[in-house]
Amino acid sequence: MKRIIKKGIAITSIILMAACGKEDSIETLTYQPPKEKPITVNILSEEIHQKITGFGGANRMWGNETLSSNEAETSFGLGENQLGLSLFRVRLSSNKNDWNLIVNSVIEANVRNIKVLACPWSPPAALKSNNSDVGGHLLPENYKAFKDYINEFIEFMKSKGAVIDVVSIQNEPDWKANYESCDWTAEEMINFLKAPGEIVGAELAGPESLNFNPQMTNAILSDPEASAKLDIVAGHLYGSGIGKFPLAEQQNKEIWMTEWLLNLGTGNSGATPWGERSEFDKWKESIEMLTKMHEAMTSNWNAFIWWYIKRYYSFIGDGEQGTVSGNVLKRGYAYSHFSKFIRPDYVRIGTEIVEETSPLKITAYKGNEKTVVVIVNPENKDFENVEINNIIYDKAIKYLTSQWVSMEVETLSVTNDVCALSVPANSVITLELNN
């Protein structure tokens, strides 16, 4: 007799039993595939890495549109369909007449205990080599005047009841732009920091290079006098930039990613409009964003700030490209898997994936008597059997976002300090553990 069994299908096998003098009989067998070997993740609660300052996004930088009170609540709140952002980036305009435009949105952030970062795209034109808001250099004889200008901005905002927590020196000093900008070398920024005058009333961040240029950043950190004036090492992620900054860590400086965006290239001439791209393409790009966030955290960065909060390719719709103004977008839900659950002053703790070849991106954090685990699956494959070990709490709540669902909630069991779960393809899960 020859028995043929096909995986996953119930088949019938006719067994000939003539030699026994019995009638032919039919046996029905159901094939049970072997259970997938679990991916085992050990939570290492005593392995402490960096403190988390927060996750955020930016105000619209030009024009009159800023976050409304309702949009601020959606952006910074912790309730259902809210994003839990804890950092807010605004523009420090080279024109004093613009300063009043952002007062209300800064106050909306302040009342929710959101830390505010203000960044200049250019010093006032009169202080520059070309007398223009575009390009040129800040003249050395005007270094103190620009520090005074920044101080005046901080004081103006304070007088309106709006607190600026952090200011930077320059947005993307190493990028030659054809819009509001200013060119700086590392040497010029070092000389600016060492020049007479002090920026007071807010922490100072820099250099905010285009792709977190380590040469520019480390040059400043390698000058003791200049480095002493800098509180936060900041940079952007355009083109490259992910990596550790040992000098910053040695000097106990926080590391902030202060701008990045992805929009399927829709800003390029001739590109297919966002509204005509598939939901799969948009979601895969959001998975790319989440993967970068994971890499930033495992590089010991303290903060991650996206570009505009309110834009059709961002977190809240702006009414363009088929979005509804004020509504949370899929990318916003994705981002909130970090921002809503990993709160300021949480610390990243160790994780150990026993299977070294696992493609899952897993980080863990603790604070407020909770442990938070974020799992990003960038693969087109489900992982049905993932075990999280060394859990010290008895309650586990899973939040899942994929192309098909947004913040789907499920309560899981914890047995013998282990929580088992499945991780769908192209998804992000936040696991909140507490008592």
Q: 76: domain CATH number? A: 3.20.20.80
What values do phi and psi take at 247, rounded to 5? -65, -40
Q: Give the pLDDT mean for 71-99.
A: 97
Which amino acid type is present at position 147?
A: K
Q: Note the pLDDT tens digit of each residue in 367-382.
A: 999 999 999 999 999 9
Compute the mean pLDDT over every residue in the chain, rounded to the nearest whole number: 92
Which runs of E-coded beta strand occur in 293-389?
A: 303-308, 347-353, 361-367, 370-377, 383-389
Quote the pTM value.
0.91
Q: What is the pLDDT of residue 38?
A: 86
Same domain, 358 and 221: no
Same domain, 3 and 135: no
Q: Note the pLDDT tens digit of each residue in 116-150.
A: 999 999 999 999 999 999 999 999 999 999 999 99
C-alpha–C-alpha distance, residues 375 and 287, integer Å: 11
Confidence label for 42 from pLDDT (cuts 50, 70 and 90): very high
Same domain, 300 and 237: yes
Same domain, 406 and 306: no
Domain boundary residue among 298, 314, 344? 344
On whether the CB atoms of residues 427 and 364 are closer than 8 A, the answer is no
Q: Which of 1-10, 79-88, 172-181 is least confident?
A: 1-10
Q: What is the pLDDT of residue 64?
A: 81
Confidence label for 9 from pLDDT (cuts 50, 70 and 90): very low
Q: Give the pLDDT mean for 25-41.
A: 68
Same domain, 102 and 177: yes
Q: What is the pLDDT of residue 123?
A: 98
Q: Note the pLDDT tens digit of each residue in 206-255.
A: 999 999 999 999 999 999 999 999 999 999 999 988 999 999 999 999 99
Q: Give the pLDDT mean for 315-337.
A: 97
Same domain, 317 and 403: no
Q: Note the pLDDT tens digit of each residue in 288-304.
A: 999 999 999 999 999 99
Same domain, 156 and 183: yes
Question: Has residue 36 got a pLDDT over 90?
Answer: no
Count of domains for the chain: 3
- Range of the structural domain that residue 242 is part of: 53-344
Domain boundary residue among 281, 315, 344? 344
Same domain, 316 and 213: yes
Same domain, 294 and 235: yes
Same domain, 286 and 418: no
Q: What is the pLDDT of residue 5?
A: 36
Confidence label for 19 from pLDDT (cuts 50, 70 and 90): very low
Same domain, 334 and 299: yes
Same domain, 223 and 321: yes
Inter-CA distances, 176 with 82, 184, 216, 262, Å = 37, 10, 15, 20
On whether the CB atoms of residues 421 and 412 are closer than 8 A, the answer is yes
Q: What is the pLDDT of residue 240?
A: 84
* Residues linked to residue 316 through DSSP beta bridges, in sequence order: 310, 328
Please enumerate in sequence order all residues whose Cβ is within 8 A of that of 191, keeping only pairs 6 or more positions apart, or say none. 140, 143
Inter-CA distances, 400 with 56, 210, 309, 339, 370, Å = 20, 33, 21, 14, 18
Domain boundary residue among 291, 309, 344? 344
102: DSSP letter: G
C-alpha–C-alpha distance, residues 223 and 398, integer Å: 47
**Structure-token match 């070990």, residue found:** 389
Q: What is the pLDDT of residue 3?
A: 37
On whether the CB atoms of residues 373 and 419 are closer than 8 A, the answer is no
Question: Has residue 14 got a pLDDT over 70?
Answer: no
